[in-house]
Structure 1
């Protein structure tokens, strides 16, 4: 602070938000912070409930930045985190890369339907995972809530539900 009134100099103030790049305009329904609860399970793990926060943001480039974090509902203890980039294409396809806090990485391709507010993703590559072989992610906005389902296949189990959640914009 170096202004006489104790304020920060203009050069340190936050810049205005960047203009929305036309490439991500069809996915504006995702932009923002979402919070809610989910549940998970798989044949090899006990079922569990979790709290979650997703953030979809942009920098004016033709890409959406994605971050996710989850926590145990009872204690608030951190559980999982991941981040990545979503690149929508004008033809309704989308490319996504995600790095998980476990070290697993995903390269996904899919499609989006802006009118119905749906995104469907399927793994092209799951890297640094000895057992996970395939992951799908389906997102939809219905009645202002963001619903998603993650399905997973492993070396010993076919593709089946692993996670599902309902999140609300905050």
Structure 2
């Protein structure tokens, strides 16, 4: 009945996001980062993928220093999967940088590949790619970045478990 789940925690899932439903929930784990122009570092991370019944997945991320728990980075945005296997993603970072990304998803391999169409409000970053993959209940990702000084290089990678 229509009005009966008004008090439930989650609205019905929109069919457009069903192919990426494996992402939904809270993920936590550790990652490592580096780049030719900075020292390597390790971090803790939590991702949250949620939905409101609309054809979009809300995304938020936060990282912290492993030793102290001090906050490091945060970003949030929206993921819009399309029926043809393409996906549009917008992300705003706590640094002020914004990303408009397009890519593809594969429901069988549970993989999402994103390529920046636009990196805005960034003085040095000119390109960002992100690849997410879920294997055996763990979510891994690799972020690559290009700057005015470098070609596309590995920047971040992490392995997260659903909590």
Report the counterpart of residue 3 of structure 2 in structure 1: none
Residues 61 and 50 of structure 1: CA distance in aligned 2, closer, same or farther (over 3 Å): same
Q: Secondary structure at the match of 2:19?
A: helix
Report the counterpart of residue 152 of structure 2 in structure 1: 159
TM-score, length-normalised on structure 2? 0.95
Q: What stretches of structure 2 of length at least 5 have no aligned partner?
A: 1-5
Q: Secondary structure at the match of 2:23?
A: coil
TM-score, length-normalised on structure 1? 0.91
Per-residue CA shift, 1:36-67, capped at 9, x if unaligned? 00000001110000000000000000000000
Of 50, 53, 59, the residue aligned with 2:46 is 53
Q: What stretches of structure 1 of length at least 5 have no aligned partner?
A: 1-12
Of 33, 41, 45, the residue aligned with 1:40 is 33
Deviation, 1:16, is 3.5
Report the counterpart of residue 133 of structure 1 in structure 2: 126
Report the counterpart of residue 73 of structure 1 in structure 2: 66
Q: Aligned residues, how many?
A: 158
CA distance in 2, matches of 1:55, 1:44: 30
Q: Secondary structure at the match of 1:29?
A: helix
Q: Which has the larger radius of gyration?
A: 1
Report the counterpart of residue 91 of structure 1 in structure 2: 84
